[in-house]
Structure 1
């Protein structure tokens, strides 16, 4: 059981507060912390700082953008992490989204699959290289999922319902890591919970890779419009009391996930939800 903590690391909290949170996740028994650490920064310093501050917790980049991080620089950083903290860092790389990449003006978002293949080739050719078993791909569609099985340790899908996890497992086959991110809202008041979930969904549904992936799964244009339909919300974001949220997470394990990266959503996206992660640990970590 792992944690997806991108929102917290990008908040205005002090770095020491972030490291304290990581230490608590380590103590609670979570296996890995997935975090973006900052878009467009290659492999940001926060990954090494979390590794230094903890003793057992794995750290994964979710994700490093292949448009904004030079493969040689990434490979050198991964090699350093491996030397200092053997087996604890997992490199997650992805193609990001056209509106984000194009807005930065340094690149044009074209042929993302081909660009990923070239990027993996460059990681292989780096000195030292990034071994395939120390990297995963942010994968949604069938081709990228298949590439995750042959050129990486597996896949890290984001913003996906359990039916996507089932399809991803079928494409990956037995063996490759499947670690979907799953956002949850530990809130029993329906109005409050739906408000938190819809605010989170609204931004991601504006990104074509996510909305197109949901359309491939059979959801409709009405489902992905605005902040998303209630039907889509129920499929994407387990909400409610602890038992109901745990049941939603377990759907992904039943569908074939090896590891679920839980992202707890709250009314304050800049506050680290320590109490919620403690509660989830009590039910999910033996």
Structure 2
């Protein structure tokens, strides 16, 4: 069994620091450095990043782990990923975590047999001239078979858009040793109606992706829960809404359910554009960053 990466208890999940625009790079570097200084254990880079986008954030930080959240196996050949991983790890030993996922059929033209494709991809990483160690990769796993693959051929799982109940079930599948690092969406707003509206504005995209809705159906939600950006019950299950204390209570639910690490995503009206530094500062004071 692979050992856990050094992630601490709480990390930041964000797509706002994924930018190929050089004009934005100084601001992105400064924000990543502050996440590091605040004491978060990991920075999960959203927006289907490649290894070089993660390397940019590693160069801007000195302590925390930077993870791809999630690199699509359809976008990057395994030989290239293994080569880039080796080069990046040589500069930042032990701080790069490779998060891998199969994306979605509606977003990938050649999407087919996702479980087999992931299994073959991991085999190719193992067979590369410089393999990517199983202990330095996690999978975006939702279904039982992908969770088992995460347990047996990676450090563990990084599931997205899940609940404490899913977390408890995933822990049973993974066993006690594998890493379980779910993502949790947060809206820091004490006006709960406005917070729900912000959440629905973001959630509506994901409710059009069968990988997520099928998992939510397995958890006991119904098709009616997916209408109009999500029912109150669904929004309340996959988001933390309210002030920092309310977020802390939701975080504690996930940790009690078996999560080793929680990747907290601050959701705003423009989640992939806003860099929510003030929210990250607030949460750093309220959450158990290092356990």
* TM bracket, shorter-chain basis: over 0.9
Partner of 2:44: 34
Q: Which residue of 2 aligns with 1:81?
A: 88
Query: How far did residue 11 of structure 1 move?
Result: 9.2
Which residue does 1:4 correspond to in 2? Answer: 13
Residues 51 and 42 of structure 1: CA distance in aligned 2, closer, same or farther (over 3 Å):
closer
CA distance in 1, matches of 2:19, 2:234: 27
Any residues of structure 2 matched to 1:1-286 within 5 Å, and which? Answer: 1-10=10-19, 14-36=24-46, 38-39=47-48, 42-43=50-51, 45-102=52-109, 107=110, 109-269=111-271, 270-284=273-287, 285=289
- Check whether the contact 2:50–2:68 (CA below 8 A) recurs between aligned residues: no
Distance 2:281 2:235 in 1: 24
What are the superposed Cα offsets for residues 152-188 of structure 1, whole Å, 9 maximum, x if unpaired?
A: 0000000111111111111000111100010001100
* Distance change >3 Å, CA 165–CA 10, structure 1 → 2: farther
**TM-score, with structure 2 as normaliser:** 0.92
- Classify 1:5/1:143 alpha carbon distance in 2 versus 1 (closer, same or farther; 3 Å): same
| Secondary structure at the counterpart of residue 234 of structure 1 | helix
Give the match for residue 7 of structure 2.
none
- Measured against aligned partners, the alpha-carbon deviations of 1:193-251 in whole angstroms (never above 9, x if no partner) come to 01110011100010010010000111111012331111000101010111111111111
SS in 1 for 2:187: strand
* Distance (whole Å) between structure 2 residues aligned to residue 170 and residue 219 of structure 1: 21
Determine which structure has greater relative contact order: mean sequence separation of CA pairs < 8 Å that are 6+ residues apart, divided by chain length: 2
Q: How many angstroms apart in 2 are the aligned matches of 1:118 and 1:252? A: 31
Q: Distance in 2 between matches of 1:4 and 1:148?
A: 20
Question: What secondary structure is seen at the aligned counterpart in 1 of 2:107?
Answer: helix
Q: For the residues of structure 2 that align with 1:110 and 1:48, how far apart are their CA atoms?
A: 30
Q: Is the partner of 1:170 in helix, strand or coil?
A: helix
User: Runs of 4 or more off by more than 4 Å in structure 1?
Assistant: 10-13
TM-score by length of 1: 0.94
Taking the aligned partners of 1:83 and 1:113, their CA distance within structure 2 comes to: 30
Output the CA distance in 1 between the equivalents of 2:124 and 2:75. Answer: 14
- Secondary structure (helix, strand or coil) at the match of 1:129 reads coil
State the SS of the aligned residue for 1:239. strand
Aligned partners of 1:10 and 1:155: how far apart in 2?
Answer: 25
- Once superposed, what is the RMSD of the aligned Cα atoms? 1.4
